[in-house]
Amino acid sequence: MPVGTQATVKAVTPDELRALGAKIILGNTYHLHVRPGEEVIRELGGLHSFMGWDRSILTDSGGFQVFSLSKLRRITREGVHFQNHLDGTPTFIGPETSMQIQRDLGSDVVMAFDECPPFPCSYEDAAKSLELTTHWEGRSRAWWHTQPEEGRPLLFGIVQGSSFADLREQSARSLVEIGFDGYAVGGVSVGEPEPEMMKAVEWSVPFLPETAPRYAMGLGTPPQLVEMVARGIDMFDCVLPTRIARNGTAFTAEGTINLKNAPFTRDPRPIEEGCTCHACATFSRAYLRHLVKAEEILGLRLITLHNLHFYLTLMRRIRASILDGSFQEFREKFVSGYRVWKAEE
Amino acid sequence: MPVGTQATVKAVTPDELRALGAKIILGNTYHLHVRPGEEVIRELGGLHSFMGWDRSILTDSGGFQVFSLSKLRRITREGVHFQNHLDGTPTFIGPETSMQIQRDLGSDVVMAFDECPPFPCSYEDAAKSLELTTHWEGRSRAWWHTQPEEGRPLLFGIVQGSSFADLREQSARSLVEIGFDGYAVGGVSVGEPEPEMMKAVEWSVPFLPETAPRYAMGLGTPPQLVEMVARGIDMFDCVLPTRIARNGTAFTAEGTINLKNAPFTRDPRPIEEGCTCHACATFSRAYLRHLVKAEEILGLRLITLHNLHFYLTLMRRIRASILDGSFQEFREKFVSGYRVWKAEE
């Protein structure tokens, strides 16, 4: 899922997203609640109509951003009191508020409200946080099922439990008992080393039903996506393709390249040979480098298109390889051929 | 002509420009010389190939930017020594250099090298500057005609003479004597009041041949375009549609609106009722306002598209009204219905 935090996938039109083959995007409940507000979006016909996107939208619960962006938080059993990051307006979001906002936005896949503990986190804190998350997720489910069943969007639960195997298992089992339409693994990609991230998934997935979609939140690099699929994950959302494009960085099957770099000055090749995206079909690395160096918006637009194409094509290839039984081969070849993305890019 | 200073019309792809019906764009010789350099562009197949634009390109001479952007200028009869505005590299541009750069870029319409005096300017300084300009334009013409005639791009001369009727006349007559494929009025839109701008054109046009295109450089607001056409001008380049879009300002037939403004928060209408551009066909003022307030690139992209559509449609309407004999009626109605653009927007 391309990430459309503020009712737009950054720098891209809905037409372009459709042409890329995107079928679902993510919207951020916290951001949309703060600006322009769900009542504005509802008045304009809901998020689909507001942003001109006629395919599916998944909204997160707002929990993660409340914990990562807002100021002066006070967490009670009811929910979270905070001041928003834009103008400091005092706000409260609890499970029922989050459900109501996502309902007003007109989301197709709604996420239950959870607390996302930081990394690292002591066992005691993680257990205490998980107890609250499970309570909030139960209330999310209860509120949601007060809504008419006809046309009701899907509701996903979120596994927490930090980096503790027994808490992850306990969380997954509790969620399945509550009963959701799909299950996410949360509390990953919060600063933990990659092995910890993989373990969080490995500790959660075995206790989630095979018949429901499984979603790893906020991930990841291309090899991480492949490895997560190998562990049973079906869905991802990730800001990397759009975020690093704005820094001039493009994905290729051999790893990322930063188009600011001098060797591309006279390079007539596309970002990636054989790529069918608009940027690669039309423009050279030399031109893209010039645009990035000159801080022209067209540069980040074109690299964003390429990166989204790369991610969506990667997922299409993974699906095809699963269907024809060649996934393990694809996995080994792809992961070994990919130079790991470095933060300094 | 949409302005593509650094080998891109800001925030717009060549495909979008074609869809808007743009037939020619402007590129800035000074900027392209400084970055990435004409030798890079020539190596990548010329400016058309480099930026993926298969229709016409007019390049300016670089003179205006040398005088407005560069540091430590020293003007001699040969040309201008200066340090570029990016990294201070000492550079020289004279008439022959300017012609060579524009030739390397692969321009379709080349502008002669001129000096653009500031406003206000004493009669003595204006006359002295004009003498140098006429000398440089003659040398531009001489260099150009050393090139093979087959496939040689067009060369336009530029009328200078500041705000003095006799100097404008003298400049125009000298240029016609030298002989160019088209004629521009330069030294306008350099800070002078609008009546001065109109006079500069009125003093120049009568001495330019009706059979050659006449081009007013760096103009203007929509009513200014209409008024200039009434005075015999055929071509314009203007950064306004793209520049003010980046500030959230959109053109309409009644004047500009700034989409940041609060009254648009819940406004379901398009920027302009009846407009057929992609932004107006798809998105509400409320959505565009949200994008602008949230500093999302998609906002300025969509407003840029609308503004370019507005300008190109205005010129198409002017042409149609000239052909069917209704230009005077169109002019009066348009100019009286347009609220003048204010700088504070």
Quick: pLDDT tens for A77-122.
Answer: 999 999 988 999 999 999 999 999 999 999 999 999 999 999 999 9
Tokens of B271: 């920027």
Q: What is the pTM of this model?
A: 0.97
Q: What integer is the mean pLDDT of B252-278?
A: 97
Give the class (CATH, top level) of A14-242.
alpha beta
State the pLDDT at residue B64.
87
Q: What integer is the mean pLDDT of B91-110?
A: 97
SS3 of residue B88 by DSSP:
coil
Asked whether residue B142 carries a pLDDT value surpassing 70, the answer given is yes
Of B12, B278, B287, which has the smallest distance from its Cβ to A50's Cβ? B287
Asked whether residue A135 carries a pLDDT value surpassing 70, the answer given is yes
State the pLDDT at residue B341.
56
CA closest to A246 among chain B residues: B297
Confidence band (pLDDT; 50, 70, 90) for B97?
very high
**B-chain residues within 8 Å CB-CB of A293?**
35-36
Least confident of B61-65, B107-111, B122-126: B61-65
State the pLDDT at residue A344.
41
Q: What integer is the mean pLDDT of A144-152?
A: 94
Q: Under an 8 A CB cutoff, do A44 and B291 touch?
A: no
Q: Under an 8 A CB cutoff, do A294 and B6 touch?
A: yes
**Rounded Cα gap, residues A70 and A91, in angstroms:** 10
CB pairs under 8 A between A and B: 106
Nearest Cα neighbor of B22 from B194, B277, B257 is B277
Q: What integer is the mean pLDDT of A160-178?
A: 98
Q: Under an 8 A CB cutoff, do B296 and A43 touch?
A: no
Q: Under an 8 A CB cutoff, do B266 and A291 touch?
A: no
Q: What is the mean pLDDT of chain A?
A: 96
* B288-316 tens-digit pLDDT: 999 999 999 999 999 999 999 999 999 99
Q: Under an 8 A CB cutoff, do B301 and A13 touch?
A: yes
CA closest to A289 among chain B residues: B36
Going from N- to C-terminal start, the domains of chain B cover 14-238, 243-337
Q: Are B311 and B222 in contact (CB under 8 A)?
A: yes
Asked whether residue B183 carries a pLDDT value surpassing 50, the answer given is yes
State the pLDDT at residue A345.
43
Q: What is the dihedral of CA B313, B317, B318, B320, to 10 degrees?
A: 140
Give yes or no: B125 in active site: no
Alpha-carbon B253 to chain mean position: 21
**Secondary structure (DSSP) of B155-213:** EEEEE--TT-HHHHHHHHHHHHHH--SEEEE-S-SSS--HHHHHHHHHHHGGGS-TTS-
Q: Under an 8 A CB cutoff, do A10 and B297 touch?
A: yes
Q: Are A157 and A137 in contact (CB under 8 A)?
A: yes
State the pLDDT at residue A237.
98
State the pLDDT at residue B345.
43
State the pLDDT at residue A145.
93
| Gap between the terminal Cα atoms of chain B | 23
Tokens of B81: 């020594």
**A-chain residues within 8 Å CB-CB of B51?**
287
Q: What percent of chain A has pLDDT over 70?
A: 99
Tokens of A236: 């991802």
Q: What integer is the mean pLDDT of A28-37?
A: 97
State the pLDDT at residue A342.
54
Catalytic residue among A15, A54, A60, A267: A60
Confidence band (pLDDT; 50, 70, 90) for B242?
very high
Chain B residues within 8 angstroms (CB to CB) of chain A: 6-8, 10-15, 35-36, 40, 43-44, 50-52, 265-266, 268, 278, 282-284, 286-287, 289-291, 293-294, 296-298, 300-302
Which CATH topology does B14-238 take?
Answer: TIM Barrel (3.20.20)
Q: Are A127 and A171 in contact (CB under 8 A)?
A: no
ipTM over 0.90: yes
* B58-69 tens-digit pLDDT: 999 998 888 888
Confidence band (pLDDT; 50, 70, 90) for A68?
confident
Asked whether residue A173 carries a pLDDT value surpassing 50, the answer given is yes
Q: What is the mean pLDDT of chain B?
A: 96
Residue B26: how many CB atoms within 10 A of its CB? 26
* A269-317 tens-digit pLDDT: 999 999 999 999 999 999 999 999 999 999 999 999 999 999 999 999 9
User: In angstroms, what separates the C-alpha of B154 from chain A's closest C-alpha?
Assistant: 26
Confidence band (pLDDT; 50, 70, 90) for B264?
very high
**Rounded Cα gap, residues A232 and A239, in angstroms:** 21
Confidence band (pLDDT; 50, 70, 90) for B342?
low
Confidence band (pLDDT; 50, 70, 90) for B71?
confident
CA closest to A46 among chain B residues: B287
Asked whether residue A72 carries a pLDDT value surpassing 80, the answer given is no
- Selected residue of A31, A41, A44 to mutate for chain B interface (largest B Cβ count, 10 A): A44
Q: Under an 8 A CB cutoff, do A297 and B300 touch?
A: yes
Asked whether residue A44 carries a pLDDT value surpassing 80, the answer given is yes
